[in-house]
């Protein structure tokens, strides 16, 4: 019999963290983070990382939020290399550790490929960096990278963060090095787990309102100062520093646009990212879509 785990997915600003913590408390669970930005230390405000602290509780060392252990969150340096394959290896390790303690693993996040790596047991190609090709690609503009990926790998182009140059470079690099689609190479296997997959639905207009409010709160809470401090230590070319929130504030800090303009671009790019997340998750017919806590309780009673 395959061990049971829960996954909770949704676009950004949908309330995944709140739902996950509630379920973890009710069903003796521990959370595994599946957000590709919240893995980084020091990236806090811009990633909407829940406020917590590293502790050792009952022999478990983790990032604790409201008394609940969060794994694979706030654990690597912004300049560290970290791939989907790395995530899969570590997530499976954490799942086994949680199960060994008699707890329920709850995988939570909005990075579709991270979640799919576990739910679909993806066989992820470990394609090494092509230094010569990468140097060529890094000289291209964002628009040229988008055009190149769309031409060589249109399937990946539809689901990737099209405004993240590092991700575009990697996708083109893998496709041109192997001659195969970066997305298509993520081969599905037989899942190792019995999964209750939950997705949170939020009305599109309400979701966009939440995104706008969140960005305004991030600015008020010191996002600009956070990015200033990070830029003193890390390159803008890093995947962490070129992610949503940091890339847009970088435009302002480098004098490429005013702060109000950068904030509007951040809101726009976040809405676009949320739309891509919805597209990704809607393809998975195993996800049970719920509007809130009441509906979640029904699924748990039935499962």
Longest CA–CA separation in the chain, Å: 58
Are 35 and 65 contained in the same domain? yes
Which of 38-52, 165-179, 216-230, 263-277 has the lowest average pLDDT? 165-179
Are 100 and 157 within one domain?
Answer: no
Residue at 71 is within a domain: yes
| Domain identity same for 83 and 135 | no
Distances (CA, A) of 127 to 34, 73, 83, 153, 224: 22, 25, 10, 16, 35
To the nearest whole percent, how much of the chain has pLDDT over 90? 75
Closest CA to 117 of 18, 54, 65, 185: 185
Name which of 46-50, 162-166, 271-275 the model is least confident about: 162-166
Do 153 and 246 lie in one domain? The reply is: no
Q: Percentage of residues in the chain with pLDDT exceeding 70? A: 95
Q: Do residue 62 and residue 193 come from a single domain? A: yes
Lowest mean pLDDT among 69-78, 254-263, 276-285: 276-285
| CATH label of the domain that carries residue 112 | 3.40.50.300
Q: Write down the pLDDT at residue 302.
A: 47
| CATH label of the domain that carries residue 247 | 1.10.287.890
Q: Are residues 198 and 73 in the same domain?
A: yes
- 12 and 91 together in one domain: yes
Query: Closest Cα partner for 300 from 10, 15, 13, 24?
Result: 24
Of 173, 182, 166, residue with least CA distance to 240: 166
Residue 118 and residue 12 share a domain: yes
Residue 18's domain spans which residues?
4-124+187-202+285-302
For residues 41 and 74, membership in a common domain is answered with: yes
pLDDT digits (tens, 9 = 90+) for 190-240: 899 999 999 999 999 999 999 999 999 999 999 999 999 999 999 998 989
pLDDT tens digits for range 121-150? 998 877 787 889 988 998 898 899 999 999
In a domain, 279, yes or no: no
Q: Residues 70, 64: contact at Cβ < 8 Å?
A: yes
Please indicate, yes or no, whether residues 249 and 169 belong to a single structural domain of this protein: no
Q: Are residues 218 and 232 in the same domain?
A: yes
pTM: 0.87
- Averaged pLDDT score across all residues of the chain: 92
pLDDT-derived band of residue 166, with 50, 70 and 90 as boundaries?
confident
Same domain, 43 and 71: yes
């Amino acid at each position: 019999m395959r061990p049971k785990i829960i996954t909770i997915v949704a676009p950004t600003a949908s309330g995944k963290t709140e739902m996950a913590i509630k379920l973890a408390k009710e069903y003796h669970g521990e959370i595994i983070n599946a957000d590709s930005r919240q893995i980084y230390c020091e990236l806090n405000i811009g990633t909407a990382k829940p406020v917590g602290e590293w502790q050792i509780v009952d022999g478990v060392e983790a990032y604790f939020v409201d008394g609940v252990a969060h794994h694979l969150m706030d654990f690597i340096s912004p300049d560290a290399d970290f791939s989907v394959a790395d995530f899969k290896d570590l997530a499976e390790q954490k799942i086994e550790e949680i199960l060994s303690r008699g707890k329920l693993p709850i995988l939570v996040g909005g990075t579709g490929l991270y979640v799919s790596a576990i739910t679909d047991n993806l066989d992820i190609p470990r394609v090494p960096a092509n230094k010569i090709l990468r140097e060529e690609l890094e000289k291209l503009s964002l628009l040229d990278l988008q055009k190149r990926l769309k031409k060589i790998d249109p399937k990946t182009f539809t689901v990737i963060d099209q405004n993240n140059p590092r991700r575009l470079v990697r996708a083109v690099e893998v496709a041109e090095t192997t001659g195969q689609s970066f997305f298509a190479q993520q081969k599905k296997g037989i899942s190792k787990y019995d999964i209750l997959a939950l997705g949170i639905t939020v009305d599109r207009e309400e979701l966009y309102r939440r995104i706008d409010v969140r960005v305004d709160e991030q600015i008020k809470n010191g996002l600009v100062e956070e990015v200033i401090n990070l830029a003193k230590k890390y390159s803008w070319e890093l995947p962490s520093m070129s992610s949503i929130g940091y890339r847009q504030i970088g435009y302002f800090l480098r004098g490429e646009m005013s702060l109000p303009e950068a904030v509007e671009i951040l809101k726009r790019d976040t809405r676009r990212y949320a739309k891509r997340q919805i597209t990704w998750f809607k393809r998975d017919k195993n996800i049970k879509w719920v509007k809130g806590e009441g509906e979640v309780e029904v699924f748990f009673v039935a499962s």
